[in-house]
Amino acid sequence: MSADIDIDVLVCGLGPAGASAAAMAAKAGANVLAVERNARPGLPVQCAEFVPMMIGSELFAGDDARVQNIDRMLTFVEDDRADLTPDFRGYMIDRARFDADLVEQARLAGGECRFASPVRTVSPDGAVQLADGTTIRARIVIGADGPHSPVGKAAGLANRELVETRQITVDLLSPHAGTDIFLHPDIVGGYAWLFPKGKVCNLGLGVVAARKQKLKPLLDALHARLVAEGRVGQKIHAHTGGAIPVGGNTGLHAILGETGILLAGDAAGLTNPVTGAGINAAVISGRLAGETAAAIVAGDGEAAQDYVDEIDALFGRSLALALKRRRQLLDLYAQAGTPTAQQMRGGWIAYSQYWQDDDTPAARGLEEARMTA
């Protein structure tokens, strides 16, 4: 049954960004409603489930959704021997459990969380209509609704560059504590991965949207290769896939009528354009968006610009570098047909060429790790 709702803050999406935003806004005293199109938190899983430690490693300390630690990265370029990046640390998580924990935090903070409630439309004045006919009017709408964000689209801040992915879960035949990365010119605009999760692993790859039809044959070939090497099992336990934004920050703030719009996570294009990593950025930006929304409701006229500035300070430089390297590599396809092995190394974070002219802590840390290998 449809009804009209007036509320301080509406959060669209209850993934890591949206649940974090709902929790922080409610903790700050705002009246919060969060809606999610899926029926259950974190399901279906559309995530490789790896969280690198380089950005905000304290974020997941003690988290009960953690499955295993990661301590190194191996990068396979075409048929060359693997290049080792030691001390590349992070976590593999159970994404469904992780999302459910964040939703529970939002509920405990006082936020109302509704599932199976997809957004149908966002009007030019910022009113949001759900599929059941409910119309919600909020002072602030937070778009945390993924790479195809209806909120971002309505605000003129849509993601325009996407990678399409496909992933399978298979048995891992020997214990492994590293992330395996596979670079090959056939994997245009992306890479393939093996991410271990105890006795199983996530095996997947991503390519530019125009090559989406290549996903299955490329993944089948990688799976067959690793089966032949005795590394993984033949049986496929699960399939997943989805889109990842790779065009960088789309914009974080807009006004529709008298409604303030804030974007966070994938909806804002905060996923790394090279690695696809986005969970850390989703949680951090979601928290900041929730705090910002509550501050705006409380009368802080500078809060939205402060949010934009803070996100730029945290992620702007790394996103800009990743976008630059991504576009350089894609330009090589346009100009020369395929990149060389050395050129592919220059487009991946494990190699010093990637970080040339960059002096961020992440760059220095990876270079020091390589020098001690």
pLDDT greater than 80 at residue 100: yes
Q: What percent of the chain clears pLDDT 90, i.e. is strictly above it?
A: 82
Which H or E element spans position 91?
A: strand 83-93
State how far the alpha carbon of 352 is from the alpha carbons of 28, 207, 267, 312, 368, in Å.
43, 24, 30, 24, 10
Q: What is the mean pLDDT of residues 82-89?
A: 91
Q: Name the nearest CA neighbour of 211 among 249, 246, 163.
A: 163
Question: Residue 339's pLDDT band (boundaries 50, 70, 90)?
Answer: very high
Whether the pTM exceeds 0.75: the reply is yes
Residue in this structure with the two tokens 């999302």, named with its chain if needed: 99
3-state secondary structure of 60: helix
Q: What is the mean pLDDT of residues 259-286?
A: 96
161's tokens: 């560059």
| Domains (range + CATH), the chain | 4-44+95-160+247-319 (3.50.50.60), 67-91+162-245 (3.30.9.10)
3-state secondary structure of 30: coil
Question: What is the pLDDT of the chain when averaged over all its residues?
Answer: 90
| Residues 296-323: tens digit of each pLDDT | 999 999 999 999 999 999 999 999 999 9
φ/ψ (deg, to 5) at 216 = -65, -50
pLDDT greater than 90 at residue 370: no
Q: What is the mean pLDDT of residues 165-173?
A: 96
